[in-house]
Chain A
Amino acid sequence: MVRLLDLGLTKVSSIIFDMAGLAENTVSKAITSYQDNEVSTKNQIFESSAKLRFLQDEVSELCIELIARFQPVATDLRYIKSCMELSYVFSRFGRYAFDIITVLEILGPLELCDKSSVIRMSKLVLEMMDLGISALRLRDNSILAKIYEMEEMVDMMYRKSTRESSQIVTTNNYSDNRCNISTALILKYLERISDHACYIADSVNYIETGMASPRR
């Protein structure tokens, strides 16, 4: 016999993994748009971001309802708490994707800019998102260490790029400044996405072990 709580948990899981897929696609689309100077995707990215925000509220409501109706404990309770956290994380991914495309819209066109640092970091960040979502899907906390390692690399790249940007931002060349500002902003958004990918890892660890991770 299926527990009534399991029906609710299945529904929450389904929304969470829908959000995960949508968040990954949205971030990926924003990065590709930046790379290709394709600002026409802005509306699609905005809609995806808005949908993620809406789904976050839906997960929240559903989780509160499950707690109120079934008073879950142990793994069930930890999973529900984590789903609320994860829905926020996925919603933030959507928001950062929208921020990236907005940078392109405001400062673009940016076809003359060197985008290699953003492309390098985005490759890493997308991989972190993918690993985090896989760990969540498989409830496998053996790959979390890799995500934390990658986050350190992203931080290192971000600090280095920021230092270097600050040295050249005084130039009078308008084109250079647009490139530098857009790169700095997008690297910041990517750095935040990598932090949120770690929150996915933290949630997987919490679901599996019950141990909370230190806030980064």
Chain B
Amino acid sequence: MGNLDNSLRSSIKDEIDAISEYTKIKAETDTPTKNGILPSFKAETERNLDSELKIENPKLSIQSLKAWFSGKLALKGINLDVKENCVTALIGPSGCGKTTLLRCINRMHDLTPNATADGKIILDDLNIYDKQSDPVLIKRRMGMVFQKPNPFPTMSIYDNVAAGLKLNGIKDKNLIKDIVHDSLKGAALWEEVKNDLDKPGISLSGGQQQRLCIARALAMQPEILLMDEPTSALDPIASSKIEELMNDLKKNLTVIIVTHNMQQAARVSDYTAFMYLGELIEFGPTDQIFKYPKKELTERYISGKFG
């Protein structure tokens, strides 16, 4: 029995006693361990949480963007890079500037009386706020889908999709037919409407109307699709179809979505930007924003502690 009795060398025993004693005293915080386990957590934490997100070769780069309504500052110098072929979600409470930012991106903000904007939005190499940039050409490169489905009420399903093409002077009927077909397929609507193309667009259900609007936007072959709360007026089934569609669409274009539904942002987006009172508070990969937000304000908002 003596063997086990002496199983602890006195030096080890002393160390154990020292540790046991040491832990009774209130520890001085953050003392690095010898093996470095805890410091390595902290180092990683600091690296991840303090780094600014840089997107290589962004499709769209928003730089120091400010926007005003009747002299009132609505966007306070937004800097945000949007990655190509990804879904970027803009979240934040009502009035934080999400929709204003979206409308600045395709220069719809310009159309609002007494609204002004300053800063740069670089689409590939083009500053869309450059005086020489043509707002019409810019809008052609960016489709937009709104909160409420808004098909042209007097037009058939087919004509709703073809309208933009015709307005842009395309007269080749076969080409138009092909594009309408491709656009309806791209919007996951073809199978549901292929035998009813002559029926009015407004005869469709709400979810179908919204997908018709997406098809209408796709017909212009945009590079970016802007979606302003595209499912807020839809039931859960119709909403999930739009969400699945977004996942397909990003293979060929870049999607920016404004949503009040945080779970939707978490489901569909690759990147999420949280805005508050006209400022971009936090931007990062969606996984990071929803699991480990850097900023207290983001944490509080996405956890439903204010809104």
Which A residues are within 8 Å of any B CB, using their own CB? 3, 5, 71-78, 112-114, 116-117, 120, 123-124, 127, 131, 141-146, 148-150, 152-153, 156-157, 160-161, 164-165, 167-168, 176, 179-180, 183, 205, 209-211, 213-214
Contact = CB atoms under 8 A, between A and B. Distances in A.
A46 B41 CA distance: 38
B: interface residue count bin = 35 or more
Contact of A164 (B4, B13, B34): B4
B263 interface: yes
B111 interface: no
A150 B4 contact: no
A216 B67 CA distance: 53
Interface residues of A: mostly helix, strand, loop or mixed?
Answer: helix
A209 B41 contact: yes
Contacts of B29: 142
B27 A146 contact: yes
Contacts of B7: 117, 157, 160-161, 164
A126 B16 CA distance: 13
A160 to B, nearest CB: 6
Interface residues of B: mostly helix, strand, loop or mixed?
Answer: helix
Interface in B173-209: none
B38 A145 contact: yes
A117 B1 CA distance: 11
Given A160-B8, A210-B291, A75 B19 contact: no
Contacts of B37: 145, 148, 213-214
Contacts of B32: 145
Given A71-B263, A145-B30, A210-B45, 9 more contacts: A74-B293, A75-B303, A114-B5, A116-B8, A145-B31, A148-B33, A165-B4, A210-B292, A211-B44
Which 5 A-B pairs rank lowest in CB-CB distance, beginning with the nearest? Answer: A210-B292, A142-B29, A114-B1, A73-B290, A145-B33
A3 B290 contact: no
A153 B41 contact: no
A75 B298 CA distance: 11
10 contacts: A71-B266, A74-B291, A74-B293, A74-B303, A112-B1, A114-B2, A117-B8, A148-B33, A153-B16, A161-B7
Nearest to A117: B7
Contact of B41 (A78, A179, A205): A205
B279 interface: no
B243 interface: no
Contacts of B266: 71, 73
A71 B298 CA distance: 16
A184 to B, nearest CB: 10
A211 B293 CA distance: 12
Interface in B273-307: 290-293, 298-299, 302-305
